[in-house]
Amino acid sequence: STPFLSVRDLRVAFSTEDGLVRAVDGLSFDLAQGRTLGIVGESGSGKSVTSMAILGLHDREHTDVDGEILLDGKDLLTATERELERLRGNTMSMIFQDALASLSPFHTVGRQIGETYRKHTGASRHQARARSVEMLRRVGIPQPDLRVDDYPHQFSGGMRQRAMIAMALVCDPQLLIADEPTTALDVTVQAQIMDLLKDLQQEFGTAIVFITHDLGVIANIADDVLVMYGGRCVERGTRNQVLRTPQHPYTWGLLGSMPSLDGPVDVPLSPIPGLPPSLLNPPSGCRFHPRCAFAEKVHGGLCATDSPPLEINGGGRGTACHLTADQRREFFVDYATPQ
Ligand code: SF4
Ligand code: MG
């Protein structure tokens, strides 16, 4: 089937006083209806920049965006602001970490959900209110016919997050971009929200791009996984491929810094040493080489000089690393063996 969202060689650069920041540097992926793509990486890897570019919410004056973002065949990068306005909140929608930033404190929750509905459907106030109640019920807000008249500050953090999801889904969008939507929540509410998103996806066939720094969240929700580092995709594949047989040293590091998927959960975290790269002045060669424990295993010091291409080996599985397949097997086994 043709992908619903197709991103082709996306490049996003900001001009700053210190020079050009290449925040996303040649990113491609496809997403089909009803699927969830998890994009994982540390902060500054280009995840959020990618979501803003898809939604057309980047600052046009200071940002250069190249490539293609095809939504159901239409290139969003050549769309007018009016066309984007019609799509946002309707065909494509978003939820963020901070619900307070997307909800106005001055209007009731129901009014805000209803306004989005009215804007795209031309429904009456009365219909919009009924729709708001229905959406609040659907996202699990108790007594929605009463809570619909509450202001955001009267909701708990978890409830505000649900209200934001209700607002994002009020027009049954075909694409939902979720950028760290559960990061600020405690583990229980986080699990509830993920279950909610999965249920809603089943019901509506929504395609979801789920952006997070947390591989545990990815393991819970993603069908496919794309690992970003320094504005580039370093590894991608199905969830099982990336989590069970990761190929890239950076992914090994991410996995090593999370509790085991099946083992005891109290394994101490071991974050990857070093800092994410500067995108103003990125490292030469492989952007991960200053932090990579395997760079010296590669023949000819290639890692510091040559950027490894993303090699696609069937079915969308891809890795960008100079290690040979044999080396990867050997080193991954070493890494995966408990000390
Ligand atoms: Fe490490 Fe070299 Fe592979 Fe980059 S290309 S991840 S530096 S081994
Ligand atoms: Mg972010």
ipTM of the complex: 0.94
Nearest alpha carbon, ligand 1 atom 5? 321
Same domain membership, residue 75 and residue 218: yes
Q: Is 286 in the pocket of ligand 1 (CB under 6 A)?
A: yes
Selection from 29, 124, 117, 20 nearest residue 63 by Cα: 20
Atom of ligand 1 nearest to the CA of 303: 2
Name the pTM for this structure.
0.91
Q: According to the model, what pLDDT value does residue 213 have?
A: 87
Q: According to the model, what pLDDT value does residue 274 have?
A: 80
- Which positions ≥6 away from 238 have C-beta within 8 Å? 223, 224, 225, 315, 316, 317
Q: With respect to residue 258, please indicate whether it lies within any of the assigned structural domains.
A: yes
Domain span at residue 284 reads 5-91+173-336
Condensed to tens digits (0 to 9), the pLDDT of residues 250-303 reads 998 888 765 554 544 444 445 677 878 888 889 999 999 999 989 999 988 999
Q: According to the model, what pLDDT value does residue 264 have?
A: 43
Range ranked top by mean pLDDT from 122-131, 202-211, 324-333 = 122-131
Q: Is 321 in the pocket of ligand 1 (CB under 6 A)?
A: yes
Beta bridge partners of 7: 29, 69
Dist. CA 295 → ligand 1 center (Å): 5
Q: With respect to residue 139, please indicate whether it lies within any of the assigned structural domains.
A: yes
- Which positions ≥6 away from 179 have C-beta within 8 Å? 47, 48, 51, 94, 95, 96, 97, 211
Closest ligand to C-alpha of residue 40 is 2
Q: According to the model, what pLDDT value does residue 338 have?
A: 47
Atom of ligand 1 nearest to the CA of 234: 6
Dist. CA 247 → ligand 2 center (Å): 24
Q: With respect to residue 120, please indicate whether it lies within any of the assigned structural domains.
A: yes
Same domain membership, residue 120 and residue 266: no
Q: According to the model, what pLDDT value does residue 95 have?
A: 92
Atom of ligand 1 nearest to the CA of 248: 6
Q: How many domains does the chain have?
A: 2
Atom of ligand 1 nearest to the CA of 293: 1
Q: With respect to residue 15, please indicate whether it lies within any of the assigned structural domains.
A: yes
Dist. CA 328 → ligand 1 center (Å): 11
Would you say residue 122 has pLDDT above 70?
yes
Pick the last residue of a domain from 114, 135, 166. 166
Q: Is 289 in the pocket of ligand 1 (CB under 6 A)?
A: yes
Condensed to tens digits (0 to 9), the pLDDT of residues 139-175 reads 889 999 999 999 999 999 889 999 999 999 999 999 9
Pick the last residue of a domain from 113, 131, 166. 166
